[in-house]
Chain A
Amino acid sequence: MESSELERFEAVVLPHLDAAYTLARYLMRNDQDAQDVVQDASLRALRYFRGFRGAGSGEGRAWLLAIVRNTAHTWRQRHRGDTLTAEFDEERHSEAVAHEHPEAAAEARSEHAALRRAIDELAPDFREVIVLRELEGLSYKEISDVAGVPVGTVMSRLSRARRRLEEALCAETEDC
């Protein structure tokens, strides 16, 4: 790869590392796996970079997020056993969340914590559309490109994900 190509790659990819890490973090639910996924995804991105002809920053972000999403998906399949164990280890999971967010212990029973827990407990397909829409502000078309599903599926997943969040919050905070 020529140095100009490497510079173009860095200009396209590096500005979106926060978005990439945030998505990976919500999909993997821990820092170490999220970092490994983003590292792996960025190397994949480099390999496919010659084929990337996007011009705008938004396209670069959606392109990188699609690779992160697919890499995370592969990782989850590869480490299915570990993930399942971790998923059902409710207590350890809550401790990890409290440890990662210093303010979490203080407001453990607040709506804030309840919402975060509800997001963590969503199925990955639902969690990713929530993160892509609410945190990254992607359009339905962009989410459909990232997740590799039709726009209609994005719409129904978002709708179901939000309904589940409402139900989870309702059950936890009894405010409904």
Chain B
Amino acid sequence: MTHPAFEGLLDAYLDGELAAPDRVELEAHLRACPDCSRLEQRRRALSVAVREQLVRFSAPETLRARVRAGARAEAGRTARRRVPYWSTLAVAASLAVVALGSRQLALRGAAGDAITNQVLARWMGGRSRLWHTAGGST
């Protein structure tokens, strides 16, 4: 294993994120290379120091209260915006009536149109025949 490859994999190794074949190879290299072994120890010590010395902050009580209050206010706002169940039903029902009504009208309209067309066609046909006859007769 080369040194650049070693350094690239070292952190994943220390974090327990290196899969078996690479891990075995890296451990073999560690045993054989004192420089890399020193690097590994230094990196491990750094990780320990960071974990021990960096502050884990606690969310201030004021922030906790603000988050809770904000969530409740926002939830209240969206709940008010939502229409109550019964009125949704009422709107749905009236929409259904309108839809049904217009479908009936449309069907009736379509049927009416068909009749009108038939009448017209017959009338036009008659007329054209008349015209034809008339034309032929002249």
Interface residues of A (CB under 8 A from B): 1-3, 5-6, 9-10, 13-14, 17-18, 20-22, 25, 31, 34-35, 38-39, 42-43, 46-47, 101, 111-112, 115-116, 119, 130-131, 133-135, 139-140, 155-156, 158-159, 162-163, 165-166, 169, 176
Contacts and interface: CB of A to CB of B under 8 A. Distances in A.
Given A10-B68, A38-B59, A159-B10, A119 B47 contact: no
B87 interface: no
B137 interface: no
Nearest to A137: B51
Main secondary structure of the interface of A (DSSP, over half): helix
B87 to A, nearest CB: 17
B49 A115 contact: yes
Contact of A116 (B10, B54, B56, B70): B54
B50 A1 contact: no
B11 A20 contact: no
Given A46-B74, A134-B47, A155-B17, A39 B67 contact: yes
A103 B63 CA distance: 24
Contacts of A130: 50
A10 B71 contact: yes
Contact of A18 (B10, B46, B57, B68): B57
Interface size, B (range): 35 or more
Given A38-B63, A162-B11, A165-B50, A18 B56 contact: yes
B79 interface: yes
* 10 closest Cβ pairs, A-B complex: A21-B59, A1-B75, A17-B59, A159-B11, A6-B75, A42-B67, A134-B50, A22-B57, A35-B63, A1-B78
Contacts of A47: 74
B49 A101 contact: no
Interface string B53-68: 1111111101110111
A74 to B, nearest CB: 17
Contacts of B56: 18, 22, 135
B42 interface: yes
Contacts of A166: 42-43, 46
A101 B56 CA distance: 12
22 contacts: A1-B75, A9-B75, A17-B64, A21-B60, A21-B63, A22-B56, A25-B57, A34-B57, A38-B59, A38-B63, A39-B63, A42-B71, A43-B71, A46-B71, A111-B49, A111-B53, A140-B12, A140-B17, A156-B8, A162-B43, A165-B50, A166-B43
